[in-house]
């Protein structure tokens, strides 16, 4: 994993956002993930032997919780699961103090939170690696699994077209970063008012990424090798927004008719949990184009590579 160099190589090897890495570095992580997946049943080297990962959950999780915990254990380490309700951080202890204390107890921290600011403050003060398990602005571990899954089914992602349909949310933002680093075309169709953040699109333009945003799902999906969507109501959104979002996103449901506009044998991805009949029709997510469970499994393998690089 020596080929993977972060911008913070002189200190802890944090994994915060895809834009912090070169395309070559991310490619090395994917190569490692594929190797670890193939050798899962007979892994002889245990790079995390004697090491412990603290997993802090301020947002609920199924895939992040299970995939990280299993990944750590299969790499020879241990995991400590923490909720903000169980920690002094939930009673006013500063992020800096939490980072300093955990740096003396464990060898790495995974944080799943609705505050990107909190994640970056934790990384600034920690003397051990910090991994982004999700914030309201990005979800890099998910996209590493998504690219791994794409390449298993469709071959190298460079030069391919991926379509995003729906909310310009944190997952969409990490897809934009991935488009710049892995050099694929990304077309995003989002309702007015739910576009990706302007600063993210400005960054993509500065990086020379092939990223375009519009409001027409047919335009985005045309000849795409992969169609991706997410829930209409994200964890960072309030329940009071549900009705307005449902109205805005109704034309953005991924249906069989929409998938027909994609390239032949296009695949469908969704980070899960999914709401059949809302952002995706049941016949799509449960149909032959769907790779959502391969995608979910690959969270384990992609995160193994990240953990081995950061903590190994």
pLDDT tens readout for residues 139-174: 999 999 999 999 999 999 999 999 999 999 999 999
Classify each residue of 275-297 as buried b or exposed e, where b means 16 or more C-beta atoms within 10 Å of its C-beta. eeebbbbeebbeeebbbbebbbb
In a domain, 270, yes or no: yes
Average of per-residue pLDDT across 35-64: 93
**Paired tokens of 60:** 């609920």
| Average pLDDT in the chain | 94
**Annotation marks residue 112 as catalytic:** yes
Residue 140 marked ligand-binding = yes
CATH number at residue 112: 3.40.50.1370
Is the pLDDT at 9 greater than 90, yes or no? no
- What's residue 93's pLDDT? 87
Place of tokens 């994640």: 119
Distances (CA, A) of 139 to 17, 30, 64: 8, 16, 11
Assess whether 158 and 127 both reside in one domain.
Answer: no
Please tell me which residue in 14, 187, 245, 299 is annotated as part of the active site: 299
- 98 belongs to an annotated ligand binding site: no
* Active-site residue, selected from the candidate residues 139, 187, 245, 270: 139
Bridge-partner residues for 78, per DSSP? 52
Both 150 and 281 in one domain: the answer is yes
Q: Specify whether 148 is located in the same domain as 98.
A: no
- Same domain? For 304 and 290 the reply is no
Q: List, in order, residues 6 or more apart from 3 with CB less than 8 Å away.
A: 24, 25, 28
Calculate the dihedral angle through the C-alpha atoms of 239, 275, 277, 242, rounding to the nearest 10 degrees: 10
Other CB atoms within a 10 A radius of the CB of residue 265 amount to 10
Give per-residue pLDDT as tens, 50-92: 999 999 999 889 999 999 999 999 999 999 999 877 777 756 7
pLDDT number for residue 75: 97
* Residue 218 neighbours by CB under 8 Å, 6+ apart: 258, 261
Do 163 and 220 touch, CB atoms closer than 8 A? yes
CB contact at 8 A, 75 and 312: yes
Active-site residue, from 14, 271, 301, 303: 271
If asked whether residues 205 and 254 sit together in one domain, one would say: yes
Reference 196, options 215, 220, 170; nearest CA is: 170
The pTM of this model reads: 0.94
Q: Is the pLDDT of residue 8 over 50?
A: no
Residue 187 lies in a domain: yes
CA atoms of 301 and 40, how far apart (whole Å):
9
Q: What pLDDT, on a 0 to 100 scale, did the predictor assign at position 245?
A: 94
Of 112, 164, 108, nearest to 136 (Cα)?
A: 112
Asked if residue 39 is part of any domain, the answer here is: no
State mean pLDDT over 96-116: 96
80 with 111, same domain: the answer is: yes
Q: Is 160 a catalytic residue?
A: no
Pair (254, 156) in one structural domain: yes
Distance CA 5, CA 48 (A): 19
Residue 31 is labelled as binding a ligand: no
Tell me: do 158 and 194 sit in the same domain.
Answer: yes
Q: Work out the angle between the directed axes of helices 170-182 and 23-38 (0-180°, nearest 10).
A: 100
**% of the chain at pLDDT higher than 70:** 95
Answer yes or no: do 187 and 208 share one domain. Answer: yes
State residue 233's pLDDT score.
85
Beta bridge partners of residue 111, listed in sequence order: 56, 132
**Do residues 66 and 52 lie in contact, with contact meaning Cβ atoms separated by under 8 Å?**
no
β-partners of residue 186 are 162, 211
The domain in which residue 68 lies consists of 18-34+44-138+299-311
299 is catalytic: yes
Give the confidence band of 7 by pLDDT, cuts at 50, 70, 90.
very low
Q: Using 50, 70 and 90 to split pLDDT, how confident is the model at 270? A: very high
The conformation of residue 287, written as its DSSP 8-state character, comes to: S
* Candidates 13, 27, 112, 181; catalytic one: 112
Q: Please report the pLDDT score of residue 242 as a whole number.
A: 85
Q: Which of 17, 27, 142, 167 is catalytic?
A: 142
Q: Is 230 flagged in the annotation as binding?
A: yes
**pLDDT value at position 2?**
39
Q: Within 10 Å of residue 224's Cβ, how many Cβ atoms?
A: 23
Any known ligand binding at 160? no
- Smallest Cα–Cα separation from 126: which of 151, 145, 107, 144? 107
Q: Catalytic annotation on 139?
A: yes
pLDDT value at 297 more than 60: yes
Q: State whether 204 and 290 are in the same domain.
A: yes
Using pLDDT thresholds of 50, 70 and 90, give the confidence band for residue 117.
very high
Q: Is residue 11 part of a domain?
A: no
Task: For residues 75 and 81, give the distance between their C-alpha atoms in angstroms, rounded to a whole number.
Answer: 17
Predicted confidence at residue 92, as pLDDT, reads: 77
Domain shared by 163 and 282, yes or no: yes
* Pair (54, 82) in one structural domain: yes
Reported residue count of the chain is 312
2 annotated among ligand-binding-site residues: no
Q: Is 40 annotated as belonging to a binding site?
A: no
Residue 104 lies in a domain: yes
Within its chain, how far is the Cα of 79 from the centroid?
20
Q: Distance (Å, rounded) from C-alpha 38 to C-alpha 301?
A: 9
Choosing from 107, 146, 230, 270, the catalytic residue is 230
For residue 262, tell me if it sits in a domain. yes
Residue 87 pLDDT: 77
Residue 4 has pLDDT above 60, yes or no: no
Q: What is the pLDDT of residue 235?
A: 57
Give the pLDDT of residue 90: 59
Whether the predicted pLDDT of 28 surpasses 80: yes
124 is in an annotated binding site: no
237 is catalytic: no
| Residue 61 labeled ligand binder | yes
Q: Is residue 4 part of a domain?
A: no
The answer to whether 235 is a known ligand-binding residue is yes
pLDDT tens-digit map of 248-266: 999 999 999 999 999 999 9
Q: How many domains does the chain have?
A: 2
132 assigned to some structural domain: yes
Q: What is the pLDDT of residues 166-225, one digit of tens each?
A: 999 999 999 999 999 999 999 999 999 999 999 999 999 999 999 999 999 999 999 999
């Amino acid at each position: 994993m020596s080929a993977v160099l972060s911008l913070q190589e002189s200190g802890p090897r944090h994994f915060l956002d895809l834009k912090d890495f070169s395309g070559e570095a991310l490619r090395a992580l994917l190569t490692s993930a594929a190797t670890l997946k193939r050798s899962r049943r007979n892994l002889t080297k245990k790079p995390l032997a004697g090491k412990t990962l603290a997993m802090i959950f301020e947002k609920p999780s199924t895939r992040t919780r299970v995939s990280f915990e299993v990944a750590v254990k299969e790499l020879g380490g241990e995991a400590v699961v923490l909720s903000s309700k169980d920690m002094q951080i939930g009673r006013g202890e500063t992020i800096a103090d939490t980072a300093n204390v955990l740096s003396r107890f464990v060898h790495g921290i995974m944080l799943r939170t609705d505050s990107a600011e909190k994640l970056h403050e934790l990384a600034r003060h920690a003397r051990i690696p910090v991994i982004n398990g999700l914030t309201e602005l990005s979800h890099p571990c998910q996209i590493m699994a998504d690219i791994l899954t794409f390449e298993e089914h469709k071959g190298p992602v460079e030069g391919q077209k991926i379509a995003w349909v729906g909310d310009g949310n944190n997952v969409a933002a990490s897809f934009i970063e991935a488009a710049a680093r892995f050099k694929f075309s990304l077309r995003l169709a989002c309702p007015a008012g739910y576009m990706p953040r302007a600063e993210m699109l400005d960054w993509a333009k500065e990086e020379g990424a092939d990223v375009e945003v519009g409001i027409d799902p047919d335009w985005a999906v045309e000849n795409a090798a992969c169609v991706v969507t997410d829930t209409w109501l994200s964890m960072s959104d309030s329940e009071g927004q549900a009705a307005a979002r449902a109205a805005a996103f109704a034309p953005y449901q991924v249906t069989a008719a929409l998938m027909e506009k994609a390239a032949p044998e296009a695949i469908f991805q969704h980070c899960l949990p999914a709401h059949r009949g809302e952002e995706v029709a049941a016949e799509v997510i449960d149909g032959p184009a769907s790779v959502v469970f391969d995608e979910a499994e690959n969270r384990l393998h992609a995160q193994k590579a990240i953990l081995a690089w950061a903590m190994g």
